[in-house]
């Protein structure tokens, strides 16, 4: 565990130190996010934060290569596939942040990079819950590309408030790290080193280091370079844990623990996934492209309901933590404690979400909604 914590601190420190430097470069190059109608920030803000996150991630990986605990992983092409993919997707994001690429150009680049990552070894081979082994390399690559591209855009879509994408990804990566570490301990392995756990703790460190500058009020945005980087790395972590378990090796007593890697990404990214699906349906229904920006995401709706910027972010953190905790606890808890946790935690999250709505509080005590909310059509 000490080696993991050290690696996470290294990733956090590099990101933390690199972020102000990248911010100055972004300002010098005038790469800033202007105040648009759909935005919630009030001043133009630098948006090349993904470069600092990439430096923290790649720096941590390169340092881990010199650590005996993790050096064994670098004989596997998966590590280099992840590093290559991180570099490529960040470069694509930087170009988009500077030149504002068309949606089809950006999507084409995502598919090309995801294909290269899959071709280099990070592939979904099986779905352990259903006992399905993907019959061909071509189909394996197609499934892998679909998962990576969907995750990239899911994180990108949810990146609409200060610290939102970084915080939700931190929670998700932390849950994956805990699961991966506990699972390898339960197998009584001689070494507790795990590639998936290593990815998870690096992502946690990177997100934490970036949040010092990105939490509201943010002095820098991660931009598409950062959100796409997080989407790619967290999807690769999911694939490493989930898609390479041999279904034949899973007995009845191991069924639920093996199913958790499938539940975790759904639980952790349920808010981005739900937001993405709703956005695609909404935009296609209007006759727009699926990735055309708008101001009707979940975080926009929380703001319109009366939450402040920071409170809306914290509410979404709470829900992400709730779903993540439920999935991880399946590894240790029986069905009854898990059910009680689900009910108790769900009620708590609902109370926190609803009790801080100024419109509902005013209506409960006075019988009418606040005038400023009615005038702004925020209810």
List the single range of 42-51, 145-154, 203-212 with lowest mean pLDDT.
Answer: 42-51
**Residue 226 has what pLDDT?**
94
Query: Which residues lie below 8 Å from residue 324, measured CB to CB, with a gap of 6+?
Result: 171, 172, 174, 175, 264, 267, 268
**Residue 293 has what pLDDT?**
63
- Which SS3 state, helix, strand or coil, does residue 294 take? coil
**Residue 253 has what pLDDT?**
45
Per residue in 218-261, pLDDT (tens digit) is: 899 999 999 999 999 999 988 887 655 544 444 444 545 555 65
How much is the average pLDDT of 1-5? Answer: 89
Q: Which residue has the higher pLDDT, 178 or 57?
A: 57
Interatomic CA distance for residues 131 and 231, integer angstroms:
26
**Residue 180 has what pLDDT?**
82
Interatomic CA distance for residues 106 and 173, integer angstroms:
25
**Residue 129 has what pLDDT?**
55
pTM for the full predicted model: 0.82
Interatomic CA distance for residues 175 and 313, integer angstroms:
19
Categorize the per-residue pLDDT at 51 as very low, low, confident or very high, splitting at 50, 70 and 90: very high
Owner of token pair 């990108």: 156
pLDDT above 80 for 326: yes
Domain boundaries, the chain: 2-279
Average pLDDT, the chain: 81
pLDDT above 90 for 156: no
Q: Which residue has the higher pLDDT, 232 or 296?
A: 232
């Amino acid at each position: 565990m000490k080696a993991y914590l050290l690696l996470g601190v290294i990733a956090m420190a590099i990101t933390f130190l690199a972020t102000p430097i990248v911010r100055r470069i972004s300002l010098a190059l005038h790469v800033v996010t202007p105040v648009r109608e759909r935005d919630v920030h009030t001043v133009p803000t630098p948006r090349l934060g993904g470069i600092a996150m990439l430096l923290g991630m790649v720096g941590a990986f390169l340092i881990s290569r010199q650590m005996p605990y993790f050096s064994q992983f670098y004989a596997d092409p998966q590590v280099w596939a992840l590093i290559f993919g991180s570099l490529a997707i960040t470069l694509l994001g930087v170009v988009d942040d500077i030149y504002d690429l068309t949606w089809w150009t950006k999507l084409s680049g995502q598919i090309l990079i995801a294909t290269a990552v899959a071709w280099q070894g990070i592939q979904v081979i099986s779905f352990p819950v259903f006992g399905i082994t993907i019959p061909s390399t071509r189909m394996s690559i197609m499934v892998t590309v679909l998962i990576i591209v969907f995750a990239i855009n899911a994180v990108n879509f949810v990146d609409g408030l200060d610290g939102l994408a970084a915080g939700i990804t931190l929670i998700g990566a932390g849950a994956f790290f805990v699961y991966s570490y506990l699972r390898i301990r339960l197998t009584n392995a001689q070494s507790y080193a795990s590639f998936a756990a290593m990815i998870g703790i690096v992502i946690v460190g990177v997100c934490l280091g970036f949040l010092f500058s990105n939490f509201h009020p943010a002095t820098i945005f991660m931009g598409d370079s950062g959100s796409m980087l997080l989407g790619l790395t967290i999807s690769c972590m999911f694939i490493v844990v989930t898609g390479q378990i041999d279904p034949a090796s899973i007995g009845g007593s191991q069924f639920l623990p093996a199913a958790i890697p499938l539940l975790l990404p759904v639980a952790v990214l349920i808010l981005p996934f739900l937001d993405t699906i709703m956005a695609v349906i909404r935009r296609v229904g209007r006759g727009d492209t699926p990735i055309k920006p708008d101001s009707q995401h979940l975080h926009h709706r929380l703001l319109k309901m009366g939450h402040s910027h920071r409170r809306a972010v914290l509410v979404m953190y709470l829900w992400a933590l709730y779903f993540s905790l439920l999935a991880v606890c399946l590894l240790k808890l029986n069905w009854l404690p898990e059910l009680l946790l689900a009910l108790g935690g769900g009620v708590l999250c609902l109370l926190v979400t609803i009790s801080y709505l100024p419109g509902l509080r005013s209506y409960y005590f006075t019988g009418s909604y606040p005038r400023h909310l009615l005038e702004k059509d925020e209810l």
